[in-house]
A and B are shown apart, each in its own frame.
Chain A
């Protein structure tokens, strides 16, 4: 798939990293000076200081190296099949995070906003239900693994044809 992307001049990518990311820089890279881009939609997921009525001091993100990159690339490829997008980017952080930290960035460039909005939301919904990441919260009562939410499954199911 990577070879096909290069052949078509695409730089679609997915990254998993410990380091924080700079949204402005990432979007600038995504646009790549292409004047055919008329719309960029972006979503940024952040660590909240409260979840399920408990104060959160740290959030630890774990993933499954090898599968994660494959799953994210597959989600981007599917978004590209469904909508007219120039490029799409996923940056997902792992490791120990604190409230207000950035967790994930999804950004999509397209000629028009409709495709950009839809593809961005689709990628995020699929990421939340199909990409192998897990969150563990540190609360005053101790550490706990975050449970999957049925509402996330419902959100992803909306896109099934």
Chain B
């Protein structure tokens, strides 16, 4: 089980702020997680399509495509930041 957090414009587009999910064994990286979520169809497929600007943090640290994901992790998906 991992905890997923969606922020800002991505949360609005996906219509959800957070969820806990059980991942299939083969979904063990950020890249695989995004591909797995994109299979849900609709906004998920559209927003998480390859090439879309989606940033990911694992346990509050910026993650890359090959960053591993393990049970208990908090994984956040969000658009490029616009603070300051």
A residues at B contact (CB < 8 Å): 45, 61-64, 66-67, 70-71, 92, 103-104, 124, 127-136, 145-148
Contact = CB atoms under 8 A, between A and B. Distances in A.
A61 B83 contact: yes
A139 B78 CA distance: 23
B80 A127 contact: no
Contact of A145 (B8, B60, B61, B76): B8
Given A130-B62, A132-B7, A134-B7, A148 B80 contact: yes
A132 B53 contact: no
Contact of B84 (A62, A64, A66, A103): A103
A89 B50 CA distance: 38
B9 A145 contact: yes
A134 B9 contact: yes
A132 B83 CA distance: 7
Main SS at interface, chain A: mixed
Contact of A134 (B5, B8, B62): B8
Contact of B81 (A103, A124, A133): A133
A146 B9 CA distance: 9
A15 to B, nearest CB: 14
B79 A62 contact: no
Q: Which of A129, A134, A145 has the most CB of B within 10 A?
A: A134
A45 B84 contact: yes
A64 B7 CA distance: 7
Interface in B25-79: 53, 57, 60-62, 76, 78-79
Contacts of A63: 83
In the complex, which of the residues B57, B61, B83 has the most CB atoms of chain A within 10 Å of its own CB atom?
B83
Contact of A104 (B76, B80, B84): B84
A136 B8 CA distance: 8
Nearest to A124: B84
Contacts of A61: 83
